Amino acid sequence: MMALARIRAVAFALLISSGIVPDGLKAQSGPAVFTSSDTALQQAYERARDMALSYRGSPADPIGPWYEAALPSRNAFCVRDVSHQLIGAEVLGMHAENRNMLTHFVSNISESKDWCTYWEINKFAKPAPEDYRNDQEFWYNLNANFELIHACWRMYLWTGDSTYITAPAFRQFFDLTVTKYTDRWHLQPEMLLKRPVYPNAPVPFNFNDYFHRCRGLPSYYEAIADMGMGVDLVAAMYRGLTSYAAIADRNGAKRTAGTYRAKAAAYHNHMETQWWDQEAGLYNTYFNHKGRFGKGEGEAYLLWYDALTDSSRIRRTIAHLAASKWNVENLSYLSYQMSRYGYFDEAYRYILFLTDPSTERREYPEVSFGVMEGIVQGIMGVEPDARRGSLTTIYNSHSPHFCELRGLKVLSSEINLKHAPGRSTLTNEGKVPITWRAAFNGRITRINVNGKPQKAIVETDYMGNQRSRVDIRVAPGATATAAIAR
């Protein structure tokens, strides 16, 4: 099946390069164009773009607009992969797909499934039979509901589309997750290490039937047969509740926002006090039914959920991730995460590795979408924030090369962005003004804005990394340039 995916990507690339657009895509939005004087990076972008676009489904399918976010043979999309592929999909113009797929997920929460939704949905608008038999017998990773809350918040910040945080189906899903779902699956902070072994299991219970045994896996790490709790689920709950609080705040529910920030902090405290192995200098990643901690997959999600605040622990975690061998699903997260934490050279190496034709299983959909994320959010440092109508950009590279994005859709607008060492230029091609937070790595006193010096605002993150920025209002049709004052 992976060989078939490679053939599809090559065929799609030939169609794009020849100017021929398949009929099913003619009415759909096009991808952002990336160019660079670094030919290896531009080639990586084009390879990832072509592979990701080959997974775009037909809007005429019963499910509506969609893209593959699971094993390609299934013609389906699952919660974890969609939540990771969203930003790459936005870069590629898959706005309708993202909204449609998330709507299907949030709309299918039900009490008969103990407040789960479907883990995986196929193009026929059915729960994928590989993961679902009926409402009592199905596969489900408990991270999913919290992951979806965070995914919807990120989509609002990126697009400015308030559907993701105000539409009734979305709000109902969020509210049920932080109340009934949390209670039904015994996910309160004080219960995390003493939950029932198989809560809400079908009766009679058949251990050998994975639709029984895996109905409510407490982790994305699926290799431990007696998994009691995963650190990635703890981190997912922290991030999901933090995002829920942010949504409540945005919707004017200040008291609710305060309540759930406090709840999120309780999960963070649990993670930091119970899961750190001081002797090993690493986080444990699972807790089994025998009451023992262990280590395996899961560390990448601590970065993904932005759940870590101790700089020394972050460095140890990143060093361990970089020195270990992981499958491509885990590696697909690291090009962006390495950039975000200041490991620019490592991020670049992951991008090239993941798009190298010799890399095993690079055709898995999460990989190409993850590379798009790693280049646009990572190297180009694009961070939209619909709350303020602002767009932060920063060139996360030690390279002497220039990089340019054209036709990137963010904040209900469209931008062109070019980075070169010490200099960035943004054009607002949309119809609404944008507050551009033009940032540079390091401590800088002044930044020239269209040739005129302005005092820079210096910020320091919890890693000790500094960046300096100025805010520039860019009107529709206007271009602005920011450069480090020499």
Output the DSSP codes for 356-404.
-TTSTTTTSHHHHHHHHHIIIIIIS--EEETTTTEEEEE-----SS-EE
What's residue 40's pLDDT? 98
In this structure, how many other beta carbons lie within 10 angstroms of the beta carbon of residue 398? 10
Q: For residues 228 and 218, what is the distance between their CA atoms, to the nearest angstrom? A: 7
What is the mean pLDDT of the segment spanning 401-430? 97
- Mean of pLDDT over the chain: 94
Q: For residues 143 and 43, what is the distance between their CA atoms, to the nearest angstrom? A: 34
Looking at the predicted structure, is the pLDDT value of residue 357 above 60?
yes
- 296 located within any domain: no
Q: What is the pTM of this model?
A: 0.94
What's residue 462's pLDDT? 86
Looking at the predicted structure, is the pLDDT value of residue 22 above 70?
no
Residue 321's nearest CA partner among 300, 341, 349, 342 is 300
What's residue 29's pLDDT? 67
Q: For residues 70 and 267, what is the distance between their CA atoms, to the nearest angstrom? A: 29
- 9 located within any domain: no
Residue 45's nearest CA partner among 368, 333, 337, 331 is 368
- 131 located within any domain: no
- 467 located within any domain: yes
Q: Please state the domain count of the chain.
A: 1
Residue 289 or 26, more confident: 289
What is the mean pLDDT of the segment spanning 104-108? 98
Looking at the predicted structure, is the pLDDT value of residue 363 above 90?
yes
Identify the band that residue 72 occupies on the pLDDT scale cut at 50, 70 and 90. confident
196 CB-contact burial (10 Å; exposed 0-12 / middle 13-18 / buried 19+): exposed
- 480 located within any domain: yes
- 452 located within any domain: yes
Looking at the predicted structure, is the pLDDT value of residue 409 above 80?
yes
Out of 23-27, 116-120, 254-258, 283-287, least confident range: 23-27
Domain that holds residue 457: 390-484
- 193 located within any domain: no
Looking at the predicted structure, is the pLDDT value of residue 15 above 80?
no
Q: What is the largest CA-CA distance in the chain?
A: 74
Q: For residues 456 and 413, what is the distance between their CA atoms, to the nearest angstrom? A: 26
CATH code where residue 472 lies: 2.60.40
**β-strands 33-36, 390-394: how paired?**
unpaired
- 17 located within any domain: no
Which residue type occupies 32?
Answer: A
Looking at the predicted structure, is the pLDDT value of residue 194 above 80?
yes
